[in-house]
Amino acid sequence: MNKQTAKLTIREIKGSFGRYMAIFAIIALGAGLFVGLRMSKPDFIETYDRYLHETNFYNFRLVSTLGLTQDDVDEVLKLDGVKDAEGVVSADFLYNQSDDKSIVVAAQEIPERINLIDLKAGRMPEKGNECLADPEMYTEDDIGKTIKLSKQNSEQTMDTFAYDEYTIVGLTETVLYINLERGSSTLGSGSVEGYIYLPSDGFSVDYFTDIYVTVDAEGYVYSDEYKDNAEAYVKPLEQFMAERAVIRYNSIIDEANEKLADAKAQYQSGLNKYEPAKAEYESGVKQLKTEKANAEAKLAKAKKQLDDAEKMLQDPSILDEKQAELDAAKAKLDKGKAEYESGVKQFETRSKSAYLVVDRQITTYTNAVESRKANIA
């Protein structure tokens, strides 16, 4: 810079000194902010990394559409470099925040070792129908209130939970939801509005939906060193999940076949009992029909007799006619009886006379025989 240019520059600065100082201050402030951010980044990363280690934040999350079991947890722990693994249950559900608004809430099982939670108010759940709530959604004044699953939830969602409503007993923060965004969902609006934490018996499923895994991966979070170390576990875990998926599938099929075999055995047993019972039933039905027909015939005969009797009662001439027939029959019966009794008397008289005649004849014959014997002698 020559002398003339320097003089002009100094003259301009003097002429607009205030504007010059303002520009200088802006540049200095920007530079200072930039330097501060450059210097603060390691502190931010170190603080965040320390928080993740304190809560034992997961390195990998394993999921399967068929569900996961404790056997899967035990097997993943055998992989090289795996430090810890924990199976948990998680599920989204619809919650009626008001009469005209349903929101999506994410339910998580309270962990024991990985992704530890930080209780901020209240107490830990002691029963299956108690929960910890999102402090961004609820305050301490809401402790004691209930969160009820909406009837808009599918049957599958309702079956995942052991209860229809849960009582808030505390508020908790979690490393899974560090920022205000709560994630996405296939339910409702597609956006999760908050979360709750439940004890294991708050769910009614016998499998895990997630397995969280921690591995030996050195380096600060987001650093290239950490990414490279973590990347080494991706393929082994993918292969592991593929193998376990086949085992899980076969296990489900075997269990289903076993239940099917039991059902078939129960069906056959029932059929064996049904066929004799059916034959007995059909025999009973046949007998019942016969008895019914006989009863109906007797009923018809009795009804006819009743109708005839009613006609007789309603028509005196018929009654007199029947009475006359009855009297005539009685007179005939009396006459027959008299004739019978007379015949009996005549028979007895004749029998007695005949007996006397025969008796005299026998006596006469006997005397003659005796007389002849005497003459011969």
Where do the structural domains in the chain lie, given as residue ranges?
3-54, 60-257
- Which 8-state DSSP code applies to residue 110? P
Task: Work out the number of other CB atoms within 10 angstroms of the CB of residue 221.
Answer: 16
Backbone angles phi, psi at 62, to 5 degrees: -100, 130
pLDDT tens digits along 294-323: 877 877 777 777 777 677 666 666 667 767
pLDDT tens digits along 210-249: 999 999 988 877 788 888 899 999 999 999 999 999 999 9
Predicted local distance difference test score (pLDDT) of residue 286: 84
Predicted local distance difference test score (pLDDT) of residue 8: 67
Note the pTM of the prediction, 2 decimals.
0.64
Write the CA distances from 110 to 74, 86, 353, integer angstroms. Answer: 19, 11, 127
Predicted local distance difference test score (pLDDT) of residue 89: 96
Geometric angle at alpha carbon 364, from 359 and 366, rounded to 5°: 95
pLDDT > 90 in the chain, percent: 40
Kindly provide the b/e burial profile for residues 62-77, where b requires at least 16 CB atoms within 10 angstroms of the residue's own CB: bebeebbbeebbeebe
What confidence category does residue 70 fall into, taking pLDDT thresholds of 50, 70 and 90? very high
Residue 231 neighbours by CB under 8 Å, 6+ apart: none
What confidence category does residue 344 fall into, taking pLDDT thresholds of 50, 70 and 90? low
End-to-end CA distance of the chain: 215
Alpha carbon 174 to its chain centroid, in Å, reads: 32
